[in-house]
Amino acid sequence: MMEDYDQKPRVILNEFKMTKNLPSLFTDTFDMKKLKKLFKVVIVRKESDNYEMEFDLIGIHPALANTFRRLMLSDVPSMAIEKVHIHNNTSIIQDEVLAHRLGLIPLKADPRLFTFKEGEKEGTEHDTLEFELKIKCSYNKEANKKDSSRAEDIYKNNKVFSKHIKWIPIGSQKDKFRDKDVGPIHDDILIAKMRPGHELDLKLIAVKGIGKDHAKFSPVSTAFYRLHPDIKLLREVEGEAAYRLQKCFSAGVIDVKEEPNGRKVAVLKSSRYDTGSRSVFRYDDLKDAVVMSRIQDHFIFTVESVGAMQPDEIFTEAVTILKNKCRSLLEELSLL
């Protein structure tokens, strides 16, 4: 049976274990020519509205695929609020909790346009963004006319949102950026709830950093991969058994097709959406009808950006960072 299966490097999913169809996927010898011949990047889905992208890396070593994932999470830089100068905080939120909340608000600022801030030096227009948050809650004088018990009608500024953060340009930043290019990505992030007498007067300092130092600097909200699934039907399955086979897999994997003569036959629609369920092994009449596997050198990546950079730009930056790290290592080795 497996002799007829193609010779892509696979992990075969059996009922109680996994087996490989090839002795070894990668050898200790790195073959650049082979990598150039086999390696491909295929963009499957890119949604600019929610900054999500799905793409395939084909013909690549698992260690290298995981390297790209780790680089996107922890080494690609972004801008985030690092320091909060609290001039006045009479809300019920403690200073340190408020500062932590503000630090996690994603900013639109493109980190490639800024440099890393050195030490405790005064921030400059090249490495720092300054914001302020000044807001005070008070009674709404028009509330009696509305005869409402809703807090939004009784009070003014009872909720503090990210839209209340205002950018304060440094030096010539006003000429380089627009307000909508550097502020919070989302205007509706709730920061605090207040009541009359509560006030916030804050100065916010944003700098460039990497996720390795703090999660707030990570440019992605999620970045993960999985091996590409592959399903192969070994024989024809029809009638009631076809519908049982369809239910053994995730939606969109197996379809039931009606032939001209009225027969209902199971057909493979798309292996990509299989999640690795082994429900088919519950049925003695079906478990020999299918082979489930994972292609070892085909990775499905899903990357969702927080919004400052597009996912494809983040991946490109990760590749550039890896290239620079390799060059640095080669330079160090040349000095030995």
Residue 85 belongs to a domain: yes
Q: How many helices (H) and strands (E) does the chain have?
A: 9, 16
- The pLDDT tens digits of the residues spanning 184-212 come to 999 999 999 999 999 999 999 999 999 99
Residue 143 belongs to a domain: yes
pLDDT above 90 covers what percent of the chain?
A: 71
* b/e code 6-39 from CB counts within 10 Å (16+ = b): eeebbbbbeeeeeeebeeeeeeeeeeeeeeeeee
**Count of structural domains, the chain:** 1
Residue 299 belongs to a domain: no
Q: Which domain holds residue 184?
A: 78-217
Q: Is the confidence at residue 26, as pLDDT, over 70? A: no
Please state the length of the chain: 336
pLDDT value of position 146: 63
pLDDT value of position 10: 86
- The pLDDT tens digits of the residues spanning 66-87 come to 999 999 999 999 999 999 999 9
Q: Is the confidence at residue 34, as pLDDT, over 80? A: no
pLDDT value of position 192: 95
pLDDT value of position 47: 78
Residue 116 belongs to a domain: yes
Mean pLDDT of 45-57: 86
pLDDT value of position 4: 46
Q: Which residues contact 304 (CB under 8 A, 6 or more apart)?
A: 50, 51, 52, 53, 220, 221, 222, 223, 311
- The pLDDT tens digits of the residues spanning 246-281 come to 999 999 999 999 988 889 999 999 999 998 888 999
Residue 16 belongs to a domain: no
Residue 63 belongs to a domain: no
pLDDT value of position 140: 87
Residue 164 belongs to a domain: yes
pLDDT value of position 29: 60
Question: What average pLDDT does the chain have?
Answer: 90
Q: Which residues contact 207 (CB under 8 A, 6 or more apart)?
A: 79, 80, 82, 114, 116, 117, 123, 127, 128, 129
What CATH number corresponds to the domain at position 176? 2.170.120.12
Residue 45 belongs to a domain: no
